């Protein structure tokens, strides 16, 4: 696979191989410290990031590669001088062996891939996609010993603008007999294109408006923050679906609570110590999944 643009690219066999590689990297990191030696990988972030950029950069270094980075490419790159994304990518591709890019435009990763001679890793494109986050979300589910077929997942919060949800839905649709509950207010409901995508892939989608509508033995609750930076209209008053002790205790001991982070009020810190709260582990797993992805993509392109 040359570029990592969207979750539609992945199938169950490829995902299994990637997760096995991530498992092996976690168990034997010493075997991989030179695997991308002499490679140079750029991280270009046109939108803010903590976990995605730093876990990619840590992954690059743990594989023995080197990193060049623009942390705030929207203001600190030649984009401010009117350079097109295509021209910037053509130039950076000439310096590097791979480009990790986050951008505010939904189509940016695809546009970059069309002109890049080296692999593009989409680290978030507007409200569209965030495939590497979805990979680490699935990897976390795998690490919790859950099987992907017959999985039940509630995606919660901003389903309209949340790119992590949009990508996760496409990965879940790879598997059989998946049930997805969409818990949001009406203004932030899952766009039709994703509902249709689930239907085409034989996954069940059930929109709901309260935690009470979820089965108590649901496998995964995936909460998200409202993407306040992506809308201005005041009539879209966001409603948070807050998971606190009382809410979490309505669910089984086997239910896991995920969140891509950063969180706002939608997960109360009083559940951080609950063994079902997996979001900090999830962020940690992200580095290993990104190591596996960089290794696989750059060496096998």
Active site amino acids: 51-52, 81, 102, 130
Q: Give alpha helix (H) positions in 63-212.
A: 73-76, 85-93, 108-115, 131-143, 163-172, 192-200
Q: Min. distance of Cβ 116 from ligand NCD in angstroms?
A: 22
Question: Considering only residues 26-65, where is the footprint of ligand NCD by CB under 6 A?
Answer: 51-52
Question: Considering only residues 219-258, where is the footprint of ligand NCD by CB under 6 A?
Answer: 224-225
Structure tokens that stand for 88 in this block: 């910037």
Calpha distance 294→292 (Å, rounded)? 6
Of the two residues 111 and 259, which places its CB atom closer to ligand NCD in the complex? 259
Q: Min. distance of Cβ 253 from ligand NCD in angstroms?
A: 26
Asked if 260 interacts with ligand NCD (CB under 6 A), we say yes
Asked if 164 interacts with ligand NCD (CB under 6 A), we say yes
Q: Min. distance of Cβ 297 from ligand NCD in angstroms?
A: 19
Q: Min. distance of Cβ 260 from ligand NCD in angstroms?
A: 4
Q: Is the dihedral of CA 258, 260, 265, 271 positive or negative?
A: positive
The CA distances from residue 293 to 61, 133, 248, in Å, are: 14, 12, 33
Closest C-alpha to 17, from 120, 134, 101, 135: 135
Asked if 184 interacts with ligand NCD (CB under 6 A), we say no
Q: Min. distance of Cβ 125 from ligand NCD in angstroms?
A: 10
CB 240 within 8 A of CB 157: yes
β-partners of residue 256 are 220
What 8-state DSSP symbol labels residue 112?
H
Of the two residues 144 and 261, which places its CB atom closer to ligand NCD in the complex? 261
Sheet with 98-103, side-by-side order of all strands: 66-70, 40-45, 98-103, 120-125
Of the two residues 182 and 260, which places its CB atom closer to ligand NCD in the complex? 260
Asked if 130 interacts with ligand NCD (CB under 6 A), we say yes
**Which listed residue (26, 40, 189, 261) binds ligand NCD by CB under 6 A?**
261
Q: Which residues bind ligand NCD (CB under 6 A)?
A: 51-52, 124, 130, 133, 163-164, 224-225, 260-261
């Amino acid at each position: 696979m040359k570029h990592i643009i969207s979750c539609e690219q992945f199938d169950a066999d490829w995902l299994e191989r990637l997760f096995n590689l991530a498992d092996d990297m976690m168990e034997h990191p010493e075997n991989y410290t030179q695997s991308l030696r002499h490679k140079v990988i750029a991280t270009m972030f046109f939108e803010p990031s903590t976990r995605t950029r730093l876990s990619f950069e840590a992954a690059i270094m743990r594989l023995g590669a080197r990193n060049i980075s623009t942390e705030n490419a929207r203001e600190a790159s030649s984009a401010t001088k009117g350079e097109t994304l295509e021209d910037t990518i053509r130039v950076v591709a000439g310096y590097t062996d791979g480009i990790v890019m986050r951008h505010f435009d939904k189509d940016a990763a695809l546009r970059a891939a069309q002109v890049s001679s080296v692999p593009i890793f989409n680290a978030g494109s507007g409200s569209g996609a965030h495939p590497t986050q979805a990979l680490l979300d699935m990897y976390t589910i795998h690490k919790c010993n859950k099987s992907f077929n017959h999985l039940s997942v509630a995606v919660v919060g901003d389903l309209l603008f949340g790119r992590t949800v949009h990508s996760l839905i496409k990965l879940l649709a790879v598997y059989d007999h998946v049930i997805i509950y969409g818990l949001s207010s009406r203004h932030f409901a899952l766009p039709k294109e994703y509902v249709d995508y689930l239907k085409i892939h034989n996954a069940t989608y059930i929109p709901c408006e309260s935690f009470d509508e979820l089965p108590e033995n649901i496998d995964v609750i995936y909460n998200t923050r409202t993407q306040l930076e992506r809308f201005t209209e005041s009539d879209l008053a966001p409603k948070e679906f807050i998971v606190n002790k009382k809410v979490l205790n309505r669910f089984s001991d086997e239910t896991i609570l995920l969140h891509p982070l950063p969180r706002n009020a939608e997960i109360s810190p009083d559940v951080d110590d609950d063994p079902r709260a997996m979001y900090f582990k999830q962020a940690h797993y992200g580095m290993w999944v990104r190591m596996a992805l960089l290794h696989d993509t750059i060496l096998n392109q």
